[in-house]
Structure 1
Amino acid sequence: MIPPTESLLKYGNPILANEKTDRKSPKVSPQQTPRSGPVPPPPKPKPPAVDANRQQADEILNSLFPPREWEDKGQLWVQHVSTMPCTRTDMVSLQGQLDARLQQQQALETGICPVRRDLYFQYFDELIRQVTINCAERGMQLLRVRDEIRMTVAAYQTVVESSMAFGSRKALQAQQGQAGKENQISDLEREKQDLERQVNEQKAKCEAVERRALERQQTEERKHGEDVQLLKRTIQQLKAQLVEVTSLY
């Protein structure tokens, strides 16, 4: 594991965990050697109610924000979320850190931006931490709000991904259909050219038939005219012969 990245959520100092025990239990540091000099008086015991509330807040914070763990040179380090209350100066500094992170990571000011969304989620987690220290119940309610927002964002992200996949499938189908239509158009154009060629051939045949029929008709009319002329000459000759014969009697 590598050390975790920086986050707007405030964490405490990392501590060395005991590898033989549970990772959630921090390793107890060795006792310091006694120093010479007057022994300081023991600290005043805190009221049981204060300790119980503090322990409850710590447990709630650890349940809301699990500790981060990583290994470095074979040693396991654990970093719990900070339990220190926030001051006004801390809030001003947190707002400055948010603006600086948005600018450093080049987050978009408008539209869908995963970087801006992640930073604001970290910012919201820090606000939940601060509220939980003062009022655990209010922090739990803010956690419900955060989870609902994340579920809504995840639902919209699923819808967007589904719509993008649907659009990609439709585009692919359109491309495939377009290729099929183009092939069909090419086949129809070739069929059209073939039909036009057949039509031209049939037109040429019709013209040839009409031309031969016209030539035959003209030949027959000419022959018929010659026959008529021959018959007329024959009739005239017969009439002349008949006149000559009748004149002799």
Structure 2
Amino acid sequence: MRRSNCSYDKALDLKPNDCETWNNKGILLYQSGKLEAAIKSYDTALELKKDFHKAWYNRGFTLYKLGRLEAAIDSYDKALEFNHNDDEALFFRGVAQVDLGLFEEAIASYNKSLELKLNNHEAWYNRGIALGKLERLEEANASLDQAIKMTTFPNSLEVEIYGCEAWKNRALALYILGKLEAVISSYDNALAIQPNDYESWYNRGIVLGNLGRLEEAIASIDRAIQNFLTVNPRPKS
């Protein structure tokens, strides 16, 4: 990694006005955990080429990692000013907007991102969460359903986790709507993906209890306890 950084420095000695090299150096610094230095590299790239949308995007991503959310959104806005079709800039702008509680704005960002990349399960999922925060529960369910469709055939642990979380959040929205049988079905689907998820077992048990299905409720909560203790073993006395 240090050798690569030196290579960029040598390249910049020869061509100090090469905005691509400054951008690439910023990426390397980001990957090395030197976030403030990365931003300085992106700033230099942008001084050389103000419409360099990749540098604006990378700057926004780095600012987000530093918790500077408003500045990150401003950078994503600039990236989108110069490239309207950057679905990732729209998506990550939505992420920052959610963190700031700007749920309407986040939904608008996710909508535009999905117009460009319809099969982005993360955008459907995050959109559903934002809609849920606004208590637009039917729309939230529909968005989470789309996320679930995109993760029907998981090919990685990350996709499986998103599928499980989508089912769990769908269950929560359905619970608020009073659709208890559908809640149980959602938890069943979550557990089909991650059978050791003690939160799903526990919440499933509570809903079964609300329906008066007490034996099933007890069995479900027992599974929750077993799985919880597996993950969080009790110390021996």
Q: TM tier, shorter chain?
A: under 0.3
- In the superposition, the TM-score normalised over structure 1's length comes to 0.21
TM-score by length of 2: 0.22
- Structure having the higher strand fraction is 1
Higher radius of gyration, 1 or 2: 1
More RCO (CA 8 Å, sep 6+): 1
